[in-house]
Structure 1
């Protein structure tokens, strides 16, 4: 087996030449904020800090926080009375919030502000008598959190065919919201089908798909035609990372998603001299750097950034966890 691996590596070394880095890639402001909330809570209140669901969908991040004293749970019954609890970046339903309050936990909300915006919109329009179509993936915690803002009157649509199964009480009082980490193109296709069936449907004032998801997908659209293969750093549970891989493949470029450098297979690069590299919004830069180092071992001699959008968005921390800016917080981690 070792001789086969050595042969594959030798072959890869003949072909891998250049690595192009998508811009932007990796952590977004919402992920930065969520991780910092857990770290600051640990610093201020000591271990353990309980977190409902994975704070973000990345194995490295979750394991790192576990090592610092975070305990990840799904059922609030697993949290002892009086404990400090953090809601994940994906958001939670009203029922979860109410249960946490009833149990008397000290709660810090790490829900991404862009997800919170969707929750606020749903609650506001529901008071005006609207029902909702939610475009998203069944079982994803963000979708469960958004749909859980209402007890009824919100219909999940995962693909165009599902639109035919939506039967609102009043088609003139129907609004649409989307999961923030969807494929921009897929969401647009479904939205068109919704508008065709329900011409009076109310759309969000601003697209629900977040700026970071949009920017990373745009960067892959720009990069994929210029390379022979795309590597996406991200965990299997990460919706936005999966969408990046799918997008590259849709554009005709072979693409693979890896949790880290250890997942790279030398045979992938046989005959593929130029590698495009990106990372989902929940993947830390340390993993990207490790992948770059591994690609250099496999023969890459040039690594360069592709021009792209420079993100400057910052979100404040909740009250009680400090007032340093996110730029300062990022600098303290590096």
Structure 2
């Protein structure tokens, strides 16, 4: 028997992902999450042509995403129901939304090609995508925050600077977990609109403040950021932000975070950080993201330590988070 085409798994994965993303994009996955829905009802609800819809439903069944219950209609399979409708903070649908946007923009071959030729594709989220992505990032941050809360260095802190880190999800979750903590969320104004709704629902308006701030244009200290001069917080968090920037911008951002902190202030950098990931692993794949974004280095501990030192920080330790496939770097301001 001939060996299988080594590209077959790649082709299959891309095609299945495209089908899942299409189903998510039109709202189909959410519609069938609560139980069986007839195909005709789905077609009418979303104004879809019946023939291609039925073909999509069959493809999703073949790949274990949907179950066909017969007369009752279509529903999420048990595996995907658990994956996509789990408890708050574990909803993988949020990740699907982020990945769908990213795949259309910088996390693809065009991004890699641009980086190799000294150019960078835009990394700003399109305005039309902001509402769904803001909610998705909020969900992702809420899932990550409890892992950060286990760090002993964070427990005695009283004021957190949450810098462009997930539509306020970190601040909301950590303030609930630590009663003595207040937080300021620094993010783009459109992202803060979503954060404001979440803060109101959580009844944390007296402890979570929102400051409009642009990652590429605004300093992190001074009147432009809504802060008085001098340290404003005793802890700061950068989550999945540094990989959006080149080296000069990374150091600028780290330096700005330092201005918000006193000597000994805590900085947590939550991102993909590794030395030599296993071949074929998710971490190895994430390196493509960095290259596509124009970051011409692999984010290992030594490189991050050097940039932290240049910005006035000392890297104390790194903490792998296996459940998230990421790492937290713990640093203090000199």
Larger relative contact order (CA 8 Å, sep ≥ 6): 1
TM-score strictly above 0.5: no
TM-score (norm 2): 0.29
TM-score (norm 1): 0.29
